[in-house]
Chain A
Amino acid sequence: MPAERPRSALYLDANATEPLRPEARAAALAAMDIEGNPSSVHAAGRAARRVLEVSRERLAACFGAAPADLVFTAGGTEANALAVSGLGGGRRVLVGATEHPAVLAAAPGAEILPVLGDGTLDLAALEQALAGPPALVCLMAANNETGVLHPLAEAAALCRAAGALLHVDAVQAAGRLPIAVGDADSLAISGHKLGGPKGAGALLLRSGLALRALVAGGGQERGRRGGTEPLPALAGMAAAAEAARPGEAIRLAALRDALESACLASGARIAGAGAPRLPNTTSLILPGVPAETQVIALDLAGVRVSAGAACSSGKVGRSHVLAAMGLGEDAACAVRVSLPWNAPEDAADRFVAAWSGMRARLSRSAA
């Protein structure tokens, strides 16, 4: 009977954190038994260092980078902050309007690049903004709330032509779409969004690009990030990145599409529907119903989704992403449904059942 413990909860908040992949769990547990510090010169240190460097090689290979160009961090937020501070020296910083707070807060004085109504970057505005002194441009590969993908290849070409650096926040795209450092100058990823343990991330750099440290510490990571490396989390992240398979995207996209068409037929709207999007993410608008009410009602029904930006107080914040897309009042009425890699086959059916039940009760109590 208690809503808090339904027979089985349906976890659809992968963009907040992916469930741990078994491969990542095994790698992390194995790394926990390594007693040495990777910086130590003795045999125990060398054994730890071996795990660290193997993890680095495996992770770098997943994103088309050389191991020497991969800097481990404590997570995606730190990787983004490291890019902004470590590459931005002396440059103007341009950031997309729908970027994650990890980037926005790292560049408080940045110029904001507008997005179009579908959430994709306004390339004309980027081109215009690039005229002027050298810039560092920060763009997300995929948006955390809507899953909308920015036109990165076009943006990278514009940046290159203007002599600007391009940092890509690939935290949500990594593991879900093929993505590489490629034409960008740096790429931030997060371990737990790949299905690894929380507490690990990485910044991947264009070959040979120099980076100034945020935390110099003991000179680890070739002087680019001080602090003893958290081996279990890093080993888990590398294993998770390797375990993510393209086939997952096809399966999740089919579930997502089924979920969307059922909700669209019942009066919902989808933010960024016309844009290329991540296969697992839906920003589902139920006009007139506050996102907070929806998130709570679904939670009590055993369905875990989220809305807006999570705040440390736990309250449901307003979405700057949907506001930037010009959604007006609808911006306050969207929940994010993000399917995890291990979403059950009946995830769409169960979500739609819970969502329809909520909708029916809300219209009854409004009557």
Chain B
Amino acid sequence: MSGGVDSSVVAGLLKEAGHEVVGATLQLYDHGAAVAKKGACCAGQDIHDARSVADALDIPHYVLDREARFRSAVIEDFADSYARGETPIPCIRCNQTVKFHDLVELARDLGCEALATGHYARRVEGANGPELHRAADPARDQSYFLALTTPDQLGFARFPLGDMPDKAAVRAVADRLGLKVAQKPDSQDICFVPSGHYAETVAKLRPATAEPGEIVDAEGQVLGTHRGIGRYTVGQGRGIGIGGGERLYVAAVDAPRRRIVVAPRAALPKDEVVAGEVNWLIPPPAGPIAVQVKLRGREAPRAATVAWDAEGGVMRVRLAEPNVAAPGQACVVYDGDRVLAGGFLRAA
């Protein structure tokens, strides 16, 4: 229970359905420090909202201190990833560790039968066990962020909002249940960087990412200087600062040499991408399969062929249409609405 409307509605619906519901809220970082307010409580308003929703629903509720775990598993990883020249997705790391690993373990320890969250995705009971599907509302679908959830974790998870037609319907349920958070705005950005200035946060953790370096073209010719690789992600067209001629985009981040490689937009898309740390939600296929893939959160799945390289532990993805791929982002494999696998894009 994040204190937002989605997880609050989940708790309310489950309680209404007669389940014995235990609310849990993760305290992941020092809110007071994140918003840089001296003397501010470590718990933000969201934690207080979650407690008051749980009180209103008359369910037991616990605030779990996961600051240390979140720091090591998510924030440090986020900074390391930027330092390698990647563009990480901390929400997926958080799902893989703090949420669907640790919280599932705690829920089992407490004798719970399932872990329900406010994610927009559908868990469908298939012939060969639970399947992960896209949410009914394509605008809200979060299956991309859940693709690294293991089959065992998926078996224990429940996503009661997956069938909701849209957010308005969720807010209507919150209203009907009398939840105070019914009209609370959606959360934005990465939770531990409330300002949205990722580069600043990363620079504090890994000062090297804020050191200046060269901007070069594909041939290695120096075109200018940049103010730190932490400010760049593959595909980015803003903030390059090189005037005249054709507009240039980030084609690669060369972390060891602190270089940003730029190129015209047309040079960026690739035919083939590779993803590691692969999580299969089906038995890994023996040969190439025709699928759709999503290489970033805000993009519709696009046709591709995926082959599993069991020896290398990577997926090799041939894209029907060339696409820009930023290392560190997730590569999620779909068959229609169903998620088949997920992994993290590697640098070419």
Contact = CB atoms under 8 A, between A and B. Distances in A.
A313 B60 contact: no
Contact of A312 (B41, B62, B106, B110): B41
Given A1-B20, A2-B20, A300-B22, A315 B63 contact: yes
B169 to A, nearest CB: 28
Contact of A293 (B48, B63, B110): B110
B41 A316 contact: no
B47 interface: yes
Interface in B320-348: none
Nearest to B22: A300
Interface string A312-345: 1111110000000000000000000000000000
Interface in A204-238: none
Main secondary structure of the interface of B (DSSP, over half): mixed
Interface string B74-106: 000000000000000000000000000000011
B: contact size bracket: 20 to 34
A3 B110 CA distance: 11
Given A293-B106, A297-B110, A300-B60, A313 B42 contact: yes
A340 to B, nearest CB: 21
Contacts of B105: 365
Contact of B60 (A293, A299, A315, A362): A299
A311 interface: yes
Nearest to B66: A315
B60 A365 contact: no
Contact of A313 (B22, B47, B59): B47
A313 B26 CA distance: 11
Interface of A: 1-4, 292-293, 296-297, 299-300, 311-317, 361-362, 365
B109 interface: yes
Contacts of A314: 47, 51, 61-63
Given A300-B110, A361-B111, 14 more contacts: A3-B20, A3-B22, A3-B60, A292-B64, A293-B106, A296-B106, A300-B111, A312-B41, A312-B43, A313-B43, A314-B51, A316-B65, A317-B65, A361-B109
Contact of A315 (B20, B64, B108, B111): B64
B292 interface: no
Contacts of A1: 20
B27 interface: yes
B63 A296 contact: no
14 contacts: A1-B20, A292-B64, A292-B65, A293-B109, A296-B22, A300-B22, A300-B60, A300-B110, A311-B42, A313-B27, A313-B41, A313-B47, A313-B63, A315-B43
B305 to A, nearest CB: 41
Contacts of B42: 311, 313
A234 B65 CA distance: 36
A347 to B, nearest CB: 21
Residue of A1, A300, A361 contacting most chain B CB atoms (<10 Å): A300
Contacts of A315: 27, 43, 62-65
A2 B59 CA distance: 10
Contact of B59 (A4, A296, A311, A362): A4
A354 to B, nearest CB: 12
Nearest to A314: B63
Nearest to A297: B110
Interface in B1-56: 20, 22, 27, 41-43, 47-48, 51
